[in-house]
Structure 1
């Protein structure tokens, strides 16, 4: 006789969409998209299998060989232990390291994509725990837009142009005639948003813009970076040379006299110095369209035409985050702002510039200027942090000095890494180098829900709950919806909430009250929501009570009363609304940056050849420029073991996209397994050809779980392209990630293809004895 089926439904939120989880007899069986979502993500269907995956970390586990100092290989066996033993080990290690070496021997690692919920946001929690415990070494910025975060304050006085509100799509629809998208407007990127997505409506806004007569230009090596319905003009460009195209356009505006001299005089500083660079007065090389064509591959006639069209009609310039994730990645952002200033439309409806319209869900979507539901971490008493992309440098060079944003700093000597949320063995560059650096700490502690590559490179692994195993509040300042995230099932195995783990550890270390503030999970949920409600009340917006919000599951913020335009107030009154730069204006040339005297970061936008690009000497040996982008079927490395991601692989490997001529030149056809390699390492991939990809360019999505062969040959068999990307800073100014400056070669893989073992749990000992 079949037992009765007990069914429940619970509202929740992920970074790729809101949903209702259906639970049958304690198991998630489906996730139904939010009814208001016009284009829900297929990634939702991966959630049930991931929650109940055999890859879940079931119990606290300790790596065999840790006490003996054996290296972390990613192929080690683990011993399952009780929570009491695990917590004692973690507390003991933190105490030992802090007493012997001080707080700067502890590194707090995390990445913000771990959960759309703000109460159980792992990055916030690990920083809170370590700060209240005496301090730690923190991370500055992120891999997404780290270069922009430290560049833009020198130009605009803050970095809000890349993180805050962008000119609304309604303003573009009503006023823009030409939108030039450097890096494109790929819809796949708008499928995800940090803090969650209520309604995926970027496509809706783009369709409205096209119907309103906005013309689009897609400046990218990849035609599909603009959806077909935009009928976008495609300008295939050599990767990493966008600044050259912008300089060529700027030179045309200057030589034609089409630049807005009045705007430049009133709102900008340092244009004369930049003009001397454009004309060649300062370096002997005029930045003409012919000069630009030789570098970026875009015909001079196209450059002239694009510049003149931009000056003849209301034009909006946008650039994706990916442009600044390259060697000298500061330059295209600075040049884009400068080009927009020369056009004179900054601060006017539908004109000027924006960042991230093609990078993530949210930019340009109308939303009231209210904060998201957030909890800020306390101040870090150690007052020490490194740029996020310099982790391997720090571990490999303790005591070494490095330049950063006008300072000379020293890398701390890290003895213990505490990581909760995120997967550095996905998002860092040159993973073989990171694997060597990862041997340096004495202890690595990780909170994780699954046996990810990072968990397998840890010494102590504490099993963490997933979103559906806890209560939370989700939302972001980029989205008008805030969701109650209801606990749907009991924790899988012995998983615990991160907040409970940290509270227990804080109790062992003597500061539980400071960590919890006397609040339980639901108290924190109420606090987060009440802060949002109080902020709304200050704008005369009444949001429902917490009880009503929790019962109904969602609240929608009212739309803004008028369109938002970036820098509109500054445009209207530049004295009353001075920017935070030394001049109070847009700094086309920066005396501050000039004072740093960095040869890799000049004081105005400039062309600095990257270490690796198709014009570099190294291209003779590795003649393909590899672009690594956000995948279609997962968020970074999240849900990679699930069915949605698996459906996009070729014989279990990540695809590599090639131009048909490049594939034919190497004797390759669709479906072939190839070795993609350079001097840093190699990975296997499956070939797919695409005539909409510029010749000499290859594309691989990031996020395939790192799966190196155990023999130490530097070969990843699964297709993680970050074994190939260089681990160098964008410049001494910002020290961002240079992932997009990568040259490779591709060849057919000969021999027996090694199996993918990334989704096999590690050997586990004493599972039956765990309590």
Structure 2
């Protein structure tokens, strides 16, 4: 009888788990202590599917034969297998050529994405550490997830506290009387957390609040953005009109004397300027419920009723990250802060506002009061940067000037893109344009585990191990465990870790010791762990050396995460606990932002009429998927099981489907002014009329351009590549205008999961 499989502890962004290799393949079981394990664990075995893995180094034929330079064949060329020695020699020589001839400002360190949950094998940290010791690199700032918020919040409240330190779920479950959820609180997003999560607890905290009698209002065009069992009142507003509704709620509260005048006077800056706009003194248009009804589709009487309920209860206003991923995305967040200020409940247990609840599992879970083991990235000598969502602009328009957060900047002339971790052909918008942008550099060097669209646009593709094939430390600031991520499988093919690859490049460039500091991977893990332990307060020390910790597989972090109320100290004494804003208060009118003179982001929350695109009557919501983390493991069981006709499902209201003669299961063509995509239709009354919903993350498949820009259903084949505003230049991929029609003709196969090299 065979020996039972040896399960080893491991972790991922969607949860801790145990795994073992068995004759039937990889077996995965959720962490025993997790009350609500993520369904995404069903995708994990696909990480070891050799059919999609990059199993050896490859070079693009055109680059190999003609040498570096812009090439329109990039993205469509053949690949030639080469040895590791040749791959590293060529990569090092090209890095040296570019930095010598053009300077390090011609190198873009393009690592962006969730990558590994491990603290050491974090692709961005590894790549940026290497490029820093090699002379520096152009970097990106902010995130696709919350880029507009990351720039706006420091102007309004002084820092990122509403994201990083919001009122904790335990407080909300006990004290909140009315949750008003702009963009919802979708449990699908709370499956994941950067760095990992050992206990998924948000859903139970919301149910606890419901049992206590809390009321829920869902403000979203999608009914399932909040769990059915919470019994929410659904306000299916038109996508992109949350700002109008928020401004009308502010107007109603003040007009009816339900506002907190003292709080606005003592804790806020600029309410008189904001009120002049709300009342219509500025433009002659009062931002009344009737005005908002014409824009968001919510009846004026319902808006008044909501305002009265918010004033009568301890109310928490939640604003999802999705709302600021759109044109003028700064405005719904700023208006949400203003609405909470008008109510005057900021700093009270269960009241106020928070940004990003349910966008990740850790938001609202509380943070550890001490740091975690972290790999030092080193000092980057190059100061140039770009907002992360402007990568295509940078590659296509070197030397062009642009505005960002009060600065006038210039795009650098990038000759070499070095990418490790993440998939820009998932995160970015207008993928046809991004493909054109990737043809411009001299060389694109990519570390990849799978044959993603990013790998298929590279000149050198270097195969990387997954977390299952290496050792690491798994932990997150919003969790209470440190997990020994044991190696479960030997590396597939010739795959190496990013650290091993970069060590080989560093040796060839003469900076090996600066990069490795003389340690191998296991020595780095021990050093990170013991250095971390040495800095802990005595009461938080786990009392285990590295060898003991590794044998045990996991330790609970002893210091409990305290309950927290956002801005409680500021509320109690705004003079002693000033916010780090120019006024020391919440800025409802920002003189600094106003001084920038941006017509697309003035000095107070403002409504902008949507930009029309004639001929495209539907609004597409491109939200995060429920079946995977972004595009990771799109071929996994949970992700593949949700496909319709082998493509990403697109949801549409029954009335819109009937008007177009469409039914569930049809393959449809979704068109926008920028491109098109084939998708599988699902008819659902959980979607507002006039709206279609197509999640991101289907691997980009442009193999039949005569039929569609993407035949697999990636919505970023449709979205517009433009910044949220000149203030933040954030991602705007959440919403776009489309039309949907039945696809007529022979349906092309999906080839995104077929490697471009022989098996």
Instruction: State the TM bucket, normalised to the shorter chain.
Output: over 0.9
1:294-693 superposed matches below 5 A: 294-534=294-534, 536-537=536-537, 542=542, 544-558=544-558, 560=560, 562-611=562-611, 616=612, 618=613, 620-693=614-687
**Displacement after TM superposition at 1:73 (Å):** 4.6
Which of 656, 669, 689 is residue 695 of structure 1 equivalent to? 689
Q: Partners of 1:198 and 1:550 in 2: how far apart?
A: 17
1:209-242 CA deviation, whole Å, 9 max, x = no partner? 1111111111000111110111111111110110
Q: CA deviation at 1:539?
A: 6.4
8 Å contact 1:669–1:687 — kept in the other structure? yes
Contact 2:50 2:492 in 1 (8 A): no
Distance in 2, Cα, partners of 1:561 & 1:19: 22
| Alignment partner, residue 17 of structure 1 | 15
CA contact (8 A) 1:623 1:696 kept: yes
State the partner residue of 1:39.
36
What's the TM-score once normalised by structure 1's chain length? 0.95
SS of the counterpart of 1:715?
coil
- CA contact 2:653–2:692 (8 Å) conserved in 1: yes
Deviation of 1:285 (Å): 0.9
Does the 8 Å contact 1:321/1:359 carry over to 2?
yes
Q: Report the Cα distance in structure 2 between the residues aligned to 1:565 and 1:230, rounded to whole angstroms.
A: 23
Displacement after TM superposition at 1:576 (Å): 2.3
The aligned runs of 1:269-280 (5 Å cut-off) are 269-280=269-280
Quick one: distance in 1 between partners of 2:326 and 2:709? 24
Report the equivalent of 1:135. 136
Task: Evaluate the alpha carbon distance shift between residue 120 and residue 562 of structure 1 in structure 2; reply closer, same or farther with a 3 A threshold.
Answer: closer
Report the Cα offset of residue 710 of structure 1: 5.0
Identify if the C-alpha distance between structure 1 residues 315 and 558 changes in structure 2 by more than 3 Å, giving closer, same or farther.
farther
Distance 1:711 1:145, change over 3 A: closer
Q: Distance in 2 between matches of 1:489 and 1:347?
A: 49
Partner residue, 2:258: 258
Counterpart of 1:305 in 2: which secondary structure?
Answer: helix
| Matched-pair contact (CA < 8 Å) for 2:74–2:458 | no
Cα–Cα, structure 1 residues 372 and 228, in superposed 2: closer, same or farther, change >3 Å?
Answer: farther
SS at 1:65 equivalent: helix
Give the corresponding residue for 1:116: 117
1:91 counterpart residue number? 92
Measured in 2, the distance between the counterparts of 1:600 and 1:746 equals: 30
Q: Using the alignment, how far apart are the partners of 1:303 and 1:634 within structure 2?
A: 36
Q: CA deviation at 1:574?
A: 1.8
What secondary structure does 1:657 align onto? strand
CA contact (8 A) 1:240 1:740 kept: no
Q: In structure 2, do the counterparts of structure 1 residues 367 and 136 end up closer, same or farther at CA, with 3 Å as the change threshold?
A: closer
Cα distance in 2 for residues equivalent to 1:500 and 1:742: 42
Aligned residue for 2:7, secondary structure, equals strand
Tell me the distance in 1 between the aligned counterparts of 2:527 and 2:208: 38
Specify the alignment match of 2:212 in structure 1.
212
Point out the more displaced range, 502-511 or 518-527: 518-527
Q: Could you tell me how far apart the structure 1 residues matched to 2:425 and 2:492 are?
A: 24
Would you say the 8 A contact 1:473–1:482 is kept in 2?
yes
Whether the 8 Å contact between 1:366 and 1:559 is mirrored in structure 2 is: no
Rounded to whole Å, the distance in 2 between the matches of 1:309 and 1:345 is 13
Residue ranges of structure 2 left out of the alignment (5+ in a row): none
Q: Note if contact 1:30-1:45 (Cα within 8 Å) is conserved in structure 2.
A: no
Q: Show CA shifts across 1:232-264 (max 9, x none).
A: 111111101101100000001111122111111
Decide whether aligned partners of structure 1 residues 187 and 559 sit closer, same or farther in structure 2, where only a CA change above 3 A counts: farther
| CA contact 1:370–1:532 (8 Å) conserved in 2 | no
Offset from partner CA, 1:519-557 (integer Å, 9 cap, x none): 221222223334543454166555543333222212223
SS of structure 2 residue aligned to 1:167: coil
Distance 1:143 1:677, change over 3 A: same
Identify if the C-alpha distance between structure 1 residues 416 and 207 changes in structure 2 by more than 3 Å, giving closer, same or farther. Answer: same
Who is 1:289 aligned against? Answer: 289
Match of 2:716 in 1: 722
- Residue 7 of structure 1 corresponds to which residue in structure 2? 5
Does the 8 A contact of 1:59 with 1:495 survive in 2?
A: yes
Cα distance in 2 for partners of 1:276, 1:24 equals 68
Aligned with residue 745 of structure 2, among 748, 751, 769: 751
CA distance in 1, matches of 2:383, 2:739: 43
Task: Give 1:332 shift.
Answer: 0.6
Contact 1:481 1:557 in 2 (8 A): yes
Give the corresponding residue for 2:222: 222
Deviates more, 1:212-221 or 1:27-36: 27-36
CA contact (8 A) 2:704 2:711 kept: no
For 2:299 and 2:369, the matched residues in 1 are separated by 42
1:129-152, CA deviations, whole angstroms, 9 ceiling, x for partnerless residues?
A: 111111111010110001100010
Question: Residues of 2 paired with 1:503 and 1:540: CA distance?
Answer: 34
Are the counterparts in 1 of residues 417 and 441 from structure 2 also a CA contact under 8 Å? yes
C-alpha distance after superposition, 1:53-102 (max 9, x if no partner)? 31111111101111435424534221111111000000000000111111
- Report deviation, 1:201: 1.5
- Give a deviation string over 1:110-160, Cα, whole Å, max 9, x none: 123111001000011111111111111101011000110001000011123
Q: Distance in 2 between matches of 1:247 and 1:579?
A: 24
RMSD between aligned alpha carbons? 1.7
Identify the residue that residue 192 of structure 1 maps to in structure 2: 192
After TM superposition, the structure 1 stretch with the greater mean CA deviation from structure 2, 525-534 or 666-675, is 525-534
Moved more, 63-72 or 438-447: 63-72
Structure 1: runs of 5 or more not aligned = none
Picking from 52, 56, 70, the partner of 1:55 is: 52
> CA distance change for structure 1 residues 355 and 471 in 2, over 3 Å: closer, same or farther?
same
1:41 Cα shift? 1.8
CA distance 1:535–1:564, change in 2 (3 Å): farther
Cα 1:610–1:522 shift into 2, 3 Å: farther
Residues matched between the structures, number: 755
CA contact (8 A) 2:169 2:205 kept: yes
